[in-house]
Amino acid sequence: MKKVLATLLVGMLAVFSFAAFEVTVGYANTSLSASDTTAASDVTLHGLSVGANYLYDGLGIEGGSLLVGGTFDYYFPTDFVNNDTVTATDVSNMLIGINAGYRHSFDAFFVQGLFNYSFGLGDGKVFNSVLSFGGGVGATFAVQNLDMNVGADVLFEMPTLSDDYKEIYSDELKLRPAFKVHAGVQF
């Protein structure tokens, strides 16, 4: 299995060897709705997001590039109610995910469309996995010799909750918005 992953990684790096590499950091916001049958209230999560992307611009489309990368989201401790207890407990959430999308640049500005699949980390996690899609806008500029960018993304997420939280929070297949504001550096 390790050899397969190493081969895929080397192959991906070879394909994207002439692409730009981007590292971003920013603010992430998402929410969960309480189910109609409980006394729990809706929960809003705030956190930090760190990402890395390859931007492959050899598609033959002027200004267009393929975006492939990953993210790590850490949401600060928030009060959640689980199925075992009626009392709220502080739970921090961590998600690690992969991104794929398309970015189109218009001189100093860009728009992008994204697909993301994330899975939860840790023992007390609320999210088992999250499938999301959406888009974003941003601007690129140069500071000294660095290519910088700032942007904002709106993603519509379909979460799968862990067993401890399924009955308390709405686990039905409905989209909920998530927001990310980020700044980054391209190499």
SS3 content of the chain, % helix, strand, coil (to 5): 5, 65, 25
State the chain's mean pLDDT as an integer: 86
What is the pLDDT at residue 175?
Answer: 83
Q: Above pLDDT 90, what percent of the chain?
A: 51
List the domain boundaries for the chain. Answer: 20-186
The answer to whether 102 and 134 have CB atoms below 8 angstroms apart is no
pLDDT value at residue 167:
78
Q: Residue 42: what pLDDT?
A: 82
Specify the pLDDT at position 50: 97
Q: What is the pLDDT of residues 93-150, one digit of tens each?
A: 999 999 999 999 998 999 999 999 999 998 778 899 999 999 999 999 999 888 999 9
Would you identify the CATH topology of the domain 20-186?
Answer: Porin (2.40.160)
Name which residue leads in pLDDT, 100 or 41: 100
Q: How far is Cα 88 from Cα 100, in angstroms, rounded to an integer?
A: 36
Mean local confidence (pLDDT), 62-90: 83
So what's the pLDDT on residue 187?
A: 81
Confidence (pTM): 0.83
Is the confidence at residue 32, as pLDDT, over 70? yes
| Amino acid, res. 78 | T
Contact 50, 24 (CB under 8 A): yes
- Looking at residue 124, its pLDDT comes to 79
Three-class DSSP category at 12: helix
pLDDT at 176: 86
Per-residue pLDDT of 154-170, as tens digits, reads 999 999 888 888 877 87
Q: What angle (nearest 5°) sits at the alpha carbon of residue 164, between those of residues 163 and 168?
A: 105
Compute the Cα dihedral for 145, 136, 54, 125 and give only its sign: positive
